[in-house]
Amino acid sequence: MPETFRAIAPGRVNLIGDHTDYAGGLVFPMAIDRSTVIEFLEADATSLVSADVEGDGWLRYIEAVRGLVPGARAVSGRVATTIPIGAGLSSSAALEVAAALAFGFRGSVVELAQLSRQAEHDATGVPCGIMDQLCIAAGRAGHATLIDCRSLELTHVPVPDSVKVVVRFIASRTLEGSEYATRVAECGAAEAIVGPLRDAALRDLVAITDERIRRRAVHVVSENARVQSFAAALSSFDFGLAGEIMLEGHRSLAENFDVSTAAMDRAVREIAETPGVYGARMTGGGFGGCVVALCEPDARVDGWVVEASAGARVVRN
């Protein structure tokens, strides 16, 4: 019997730091206990099937990855996932990272993430940042990952047992054809005026006369600061403060960045008013997807409790 393997890649939820990665900013996601698994063996020709991913849209990610992995080996196997698709929990990034590992990618977690991000660009044309792929490649059980998207430095920060993270699905979405690419361009327009947003202070942004571009920049600059204060609040068990920072972050994504929806705003308000909830915000690219909440362990919030999980890996069956 030939040896069979499993390439496993988790989904991710972003605790804070959205729409900052492509501007060289800070993000604070965690890998979750839902994953995509490719069970495979080496073969003469590549053939992958999936029982629970509908349609064949997923194959374009596989093809994009295969084209990028140097000396990709041929594998035969099946793809299965417990990550809801189109929910903003990085099902496509998980598929890319799992596929790269199945095709025999060798290199650092940063290189794995860079290749997988390139595959996303090639497959969909969405000019995404590196957060999803890097969190998925590098996650550590029990920790969220603070990522500096400029230096690609990673800091694993423990998620205390005395809080639980709940995710509520609001609406399916795809970033393809959304205003995601417009936001990336708007941040570029702001940087053309004030230089890297990562280095800018809020007071520098008065130089931006276009009101819409200025709001985009205000979001990125303030969100970078929120990532740092949130990570510090979590580490010092100041969950009340952490929750307030999440709510502020949500307001900024809604009002400055225009990537929330009425349903997401309602869900954030409703969840935040629930006893035992410290704070909530939309998570990921927006225009639908999920809301994430930080709660006391016995808070009663509709949604899934997610555990901070290990990053991608290959295991022998």
Can residue 282 be called a binding residue for ligand GLA (CB under 6 A)?
Answer: no
Contact between residue 16 and residue 45 where contact means Cβ atoms under 8 Å apart: no
- When binding is defined by CB under 6 A, the residue of 39, 132, 248, 265 that contacts ligand GLA is 132
**Helix, strand or coil, per DSSP, at residue 171:** strand
Q: What is the DSSP string of 38-97?
A: EEEEE-SS-EEEESSS-SSTHHHHHHHHHHHSTTPPPEEEEEEE-SPTTSSS-HHHHHHH
> Torsion angle of alpha carbons 48, 49, 52, 57, nearest 10°?
80
Q: Per CB under 6 A, which of residues 112..131 are in contact with ligand GLA?
A: 128-129, 131
Q: Lay out the site mask for ligand GLA across 79-108 (x = CB under 6 A, - = otherwise).
A: ------------------------------
Can residue 285 be called a binding residue for ligand GLA (CB under 6 A)?
Answer: yes
Alpha helices in 208-238 (DSSP H): 211-235
Q: Is 21 a catalytic residue?
A: no
Beta carbon of residue 230, minimum distance to ligand GLA (angstroms, whole number)? 14
Q: Phi, psi at residue 260, to the nearest 5°? A: -95, 175
Nearer to ligand GLA, 6 or 215 (CB): 215
Can residue 25 be called a binding residue for ligand GLA (CB under 6 A)?
Answer: no
Nearer to ligand GLA, 75 or 128 (CB): 128
Beta carbon of residue 268, minimum distance to ligand GLA (angstroms, whole number)? 16
Nearer to ligand GLA, 132 or 186 (CB): 132
Q: Roughly how many angstroms between the first and final C-alpha of the chain, as a whole number? A: 12
The single residue of 18, 21, 132, 265 carrying the catalytic annotation is 132
Residue 33, CA atoms < 13 Å, CB-side half-sphere:
10
Nearer to ligand GLA, 19 or 281 (CB): 19
Alpha helices in the chain (DSSP H): 58-68, 91-102, 109-124, 131-138, 180-194, 211-235, 239-255, 262-272
> Bridge-partner residues for 9, per DSSP?
36
Contact between residue 30 and residue 294 where contact means Cβ atoms under 8 Å apart: no
Size of the site for ligand GLA (CB under 6 A): 10
Q: Lay out the site mask for ligand GLA across 3-22 (x = CB under 6 A, - = otherwise).
A: ---------------xx-xx
Beta carbon of residue 19, minimum distance to ligand GLA (angstroms, whole number)? 5
Q: Per CB under 6 A, which of residues 166..225 are in contact with ligand GLA?
A: none
Nearer to ligand GLA, 39 or 132 (CB): 132
Provide the binding-site residues for ligand GLA, judged by CB under 6 A. 18-19, 21-22, 128-129, 131-132, 284-285
Catalytic residues: 132
